């Protein structure tokens, strides 16, 4: 995947790394975190870093995390190989009882992971043979979630605080953690926020309008289509918030319809938006619903759905006060400040925007609102027909 633009973001990230800062980049799914990580990896050498990229989704314990990190380092051509063999020597020398092991994997399996991690970071820090190391770790919240599930809150706490200590002890090694939001909520619930407090928070937003228009032109050309300027505007209007993923899906659908050599018109762009909402494309949207189902316990989960349903059904956003009656039923008591926390969560996770005066809320992405209205929010009973 070639990264379109993101030039200012990557320049800002390199400045953070140059200042020996580690970065936490939490942003909604499909906004382009992994694409940006790959770009950083690709330009690391030019920027004066050795970088490894590690996706920790699917790992369930600390040893798996460090095994994979070490394997990624080893795969790095040039300095990685020699670094890992120096690490192995160091571990054999310093960790009691490991002299008989020849392989770092055996040592990791047979010793405490924290000691291993400490020596690994020290080795990376001391590696004066080459450039400083940058560790790009994707899907950290999913890993922390798995750790919570398999080993409980104490293990997650221990893991995150151990990494924090390692960052402080070895500042020459820079880290970038990314993930879809959720870590905030998880961290808050389990009192883990302090473990991330040293990291520079880096929000990754959607494309701006000019970038989106240029991106659409590029994708139309890739599909051998022309894109009428008014049609590009229709796509932006239907989407309402310019996530590269949804821009790409819409323009691809519109181009499919007009065929190679054709011209995308405002009407075909509108039809593409409707096609995006078709039931068979629910996979494009399902993550939005699943995120709430997976990451929030009851009764918070139901409250979040209640808020989103009510806002989806109001055509121009909803006055926040109007949400309280919807939440307070069947004996549930939700006050204004609890509602404020629900809205904060939904804003942070990319669903909603709250007006600057704090009185109304609306869906951030218009097309998501259309989808929510169609498939998630309970539709009002049809009006009784007048005889
Ligand atoms: N900068 C970009 N340039 C081109 N395509 C992008 C860009 N960012 C995101 N995309 C598109 O959106 C999809 C999702 O991006 P991805 O990086 O996987 O999101 P995330 O990791 O945030 O969930 C990509 O597969 C790609 O099609
Ligand atoms: Mg990703």
Other C-beta atoms within 10 Å of 361: how many?
25
Other C-beta atoms within 10 Å of 321: how many?
11
16 has a pLDDT exceeding 90: yes
Atom of ligand 1 nearest to the CA of 3: 3
Q: What is the pLDDT of residue 379?
A: 60
* C-alpha–C-alpha distance, residues 291 and 218, integer Å: 31
C-alpha triplet 360, 365, 367: angle, nearest 5°: 120
Q: Under a CB-based contact definition with an 8 Å cutoff, are residues 140 and 125 in contact? A: no
Query: How many angstroms does the Cα of residue 280 sit away from the middle of ligand 2?
Result: 23
* CB neighbour class for 275 (10 Å; exposed up to 12, middle 13-18, buried from 19): middle
Q: What is the pLDDT of residue 284?
A: 87
pLDDT, tens only, 112-142: 899 999 999 999 998 876 789 999 999 998 8
pTM comes to 0.90
Q: What is the pLDDT of residue 181?
A: 65
pLDDT, tens only, 162-199: 999 999 999 999 999 998 866 666 777 778 888 999 99
* C-alpha–C-alpha distance, residues 111 and 107, integer Å: 6
* C-alpha–C-alpha distance, residues 387 and 374, integer Å: 28
53 has a pLDDT exceeding 90: yes
Ligand at minimal distance from the CA of 141 is 2
121: Cβ below 6 Å to ligand 1?
A: no
Rg of the chain, C-alpha, whole Å: 24
268 has a pLDDT exceeding 90: yes
Q: What percent of the chain has pLDDT over 70?
A: 96
Least confident segment among 165-169, 270-274, 318-322: 318-322
Residue nearest to atom 13 of ligand 1 (CA): 245
30: Cβ below 6 Å to ligand 1?
A: yes
43 has a pLDDT exceeding 50: yes
Least confident segment among 152-156, 166-170, 249-253: 152-156
* pLDDT classification of 329: cutoffs 50, 70, 90: confident
Short-list 25, 29, 27, 26, CA closest to 288: 29
Short-list 353, 278, 363, CA closest to 312: 363
Q: How far is CA 28 from CA 37, 95, 155, 284, 286, in A?
A: 15, 41, 26, 14, 13
39: Cβ below 6 Å to ligand 1?
A: no
The full set of domains in the chain, from first to last, is 7-201 (3.40.50.300), 209-276 (1.10.8), 286-375 (1.10.10.10)
Other C-beta atoms within 10 Å of 333: how many?
7
**Mean pLDDT over the full length of the chain:** 90
Query: How many angstroms does the Cα of residue 159 sit away from the middle of ligand 2?
Result: 22
204: Cβ below 6 Å to ligand 1?
A: no
84 has a pLDDT exceeding 80: yes
């Amino acid at each position: 995947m070639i990264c379109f633009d993101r030039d200012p973001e990557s320049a800002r990230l390199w400045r953070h790394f140059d200042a020996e800062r580690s970065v936490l980049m939490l942003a909604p799914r499909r906004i382009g975190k992994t694409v940006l990580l790959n770009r950083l990896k690709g330009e690391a050498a030019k920027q004066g870093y050795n970088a490894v990229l590690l996706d920790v989704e699917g790992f369930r314990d600390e040893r798996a995390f460090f095994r994979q990190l070490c394997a990624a380092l080893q795969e790095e051509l040039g300095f990685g190989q020699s670094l890992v063999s120096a690490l192995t020597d160091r571990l054999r020398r310093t960790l009691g009882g490991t002299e008989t092991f020849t392989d770092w994997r055996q040592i990791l399996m047979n010793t405490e992971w924290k000691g291993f991690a400490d020596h690994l970071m020290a080795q990376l820090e001391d590696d004066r043979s080459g450039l400083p190391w940058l560790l790009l770790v994707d899907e950290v919240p999913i890993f922390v979630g798995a750790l919570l599930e398999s080993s409980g809150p104490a293990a997650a706490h221990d893991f995150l605080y151990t990494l924090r200590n390692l960052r402080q002890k070895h500042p020459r090694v820079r880290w970038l953690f990314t993930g879809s939001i959720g870590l905030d909520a998880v961290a808050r619930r389990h009192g883990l926020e302090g473990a991330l407090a040293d990291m520079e928070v880096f929000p990754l937003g959607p494309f701006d309008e000019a970038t989106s228009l240029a991106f659409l032109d590029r994708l139309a050309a890739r599909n051998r289509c022309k894109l009428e300027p008014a049609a590009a505007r229709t796509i932006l209007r239907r989407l309402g918030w310019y996530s590269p993923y949804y821009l790409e899906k819409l323009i691809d659908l519109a181009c499919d319809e007009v065929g190679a050599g054709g011209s995308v018109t405002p009407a075909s762009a509108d039809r593409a938006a409707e096609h995006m909402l078709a039931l068979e494309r629910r996979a494009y949207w399902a993550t939005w619903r699943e995120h709430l189902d997976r990451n929030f316990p009851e009764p918070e989960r139901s409250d979040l759905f209640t808020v989103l349903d009510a806002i989806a059904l109001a055509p121009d956003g909803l006055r926040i006060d109007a949400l309280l009656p919807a939440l307070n039923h069947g004996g549930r008591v939700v006050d204004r400040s609890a509602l404020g926390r629900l809205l904060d969560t939904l804003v942070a996770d990319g669903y909603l925007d709250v007006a600057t005066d704090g009185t109304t809320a609306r869906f951030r992405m218009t097309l998501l609102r259309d989808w929510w209205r169609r498939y998630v929010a309970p539709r009002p009973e049809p009006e009784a027909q007048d005889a």
